[in-house]
Amino acid sequence: MSSTVNQNTQMAPTLNSDMGEGLGLHSFGNDEQLMSVIDVANVACGFHAGDPDVMNRTVALAAEHGVAVGAHPGLPDLVGFGRRRMAVTADEVESIILYQTGALTGFLSKHGLALNHIKPHGALYGILAGDEELMAAAASVARQFSVPFFGLAGTAHETVCHELGVDFVGELYVDLNYGPDGSLLIERHPQLTLPRAAAERVSAAVEGGPVHAVDGTELHIRFSSVCVHSDAPNSFGVASAVRRAIATTTRP
């Protein structure tokens, strides 16, 4: 991944965020504020967070703000919020993604929206990035619904999608650190991100410059969407800074 370069396109990257990650009476994240600045919402589908009422409210909020909605399926791990790795087979990967995506499409239909994409959550996202067999199972679900797959360029996310004819959308992360191999370092708890630092990362990456890994390695990341997580206390400030950076930075 460290050898990749930014996408050469005149289109500005979209801004996406993980949404609907509450449960029952408990809500997490700044969904309502964020809907006013993002383009795309990745909605939790019940396995790592979210329940029918939360999904319904989140999709309704997205429809109100004109935000596209994709499925954000995770591992069946409410206690660990889907951030703990599990041993899963290809059949299990296909089933858990199909089940969760299918649940979300019912609420999309209710609110007059179409499924925009599939983007796995947390540990599942990381597992699929490094395992082509499991990724093929995930991509088969995206192909079944005829939607793109959001993931990391230069990993199995991208290579398998290309092999199977599934549209791929590469992401840049501003509130997670990267390892020297370009992998994301998933934290069990959200970390505070300075809005200025997030904006500087986006501006540099959009202009074709490097993103620095935790050890200083320069990574050149291909992307057409930027992700800001919703569950950090200042996520709205981060997202707003990123939105301004996108609006004022020109691709080479």
Percent of the chain scoring above 90 in pLDDT: 80
CA 175 – CA 197 distance, rounded (Å): 9
Instruction: Express each pLDDT in 5-35 by its tens digit.
Output: 344 345 899 999 999 998 887 877 789 999 9
* Global model pTM greater than 0.85: yes
Neighbours of 210 (CB within 10 A): 15
Neighbours of 140 (CB within 10 A): 17
- pLDDT interval class at 252 (50, 70, 90): low
Closest CA to 220 of 202, 201, 205, 200: 205
pLDDT at 72 over 90: yes
For residue 40 the two structure tokens come to 């795309």
Given this model, what pLDDT does residue 250 score?
66
Q: What is the residue type of 131?
A: D
Instruction: Express each pLDDT in 79-122 by its tens digit.
Output: 999 999 999 999 999 999 999 999 999 999 999 999 999 999 99
C-alpha distance from residue 204 to each of 42, 50, 103, 171, 249 (Å): 25, 34, 38, 15, 9
